[in-house]
Amino acid sequence: MSSKRILIIDDEVAILDALKLVLEGRGHQICTVSRPEDFSSSLEIFQPEVIFVDLSMPGMDGVTVTKRIKTDPGTRHIPVIVISAHLDTEQRAREAGADDYLEKPFRVNDFLAKVTALCERT
């Protein structure tokens, strides 16, 4: 699997740090955003090939972030995986345009399997 630019949007810094550590250890370039309202500039500057976004965040939630990514002609091709601790949110994520869904808490191997699958598609 080749190195990918992966953007992770989550308001929990501990999760950002853990996922960044795991993915950088696999050779990926990682950009993290802890304030969802700042994601647009990261999209433009970092130009990610895969995006992970937490569903529940203060201010702008993951559904809104996903909709904005998927309705923009310049970014709608980027695979988005929504991460959520809420059991009944997968349908909302899919309706917003998410390409995949991962329920928290998740095992690192499950997370890496999602990354691998999406990286092979891009």
Q: Comparing 35 with 2, which gets the higher pLDDT?
A: 35
Strand ranges (E), 10-105: 29-33, 50-54, 80-84, 100-103
How far is residue 102's CA from residue 28's CA, in Å, rounded to a whole number? 19
Q: Is the pLDDT of residue 67 over 80?
A: yes
Domain boundaries, the chain: 5-121
Task: Report the predicted TM-score, pTM, of the whole model to 2 decimal places.
Answer: 0.92
For range 63-76, the mean pLDDT: 95
- Start-to-end CA distance of the chain, whole Å, equals 11
Tens-digit pLDDT profile for residues 15-65: 999 999 999 999 999 999 999 888 999 999 999 999 999 998 888 899 999
Tens-digit pLDDT profile for residues 6-18: 999 999 999 999 9
Pairing of strands 50-54, 29-33: unpaired
Question: What does CATH list as the number for 5-121?
Answer: 3.40.50.2300
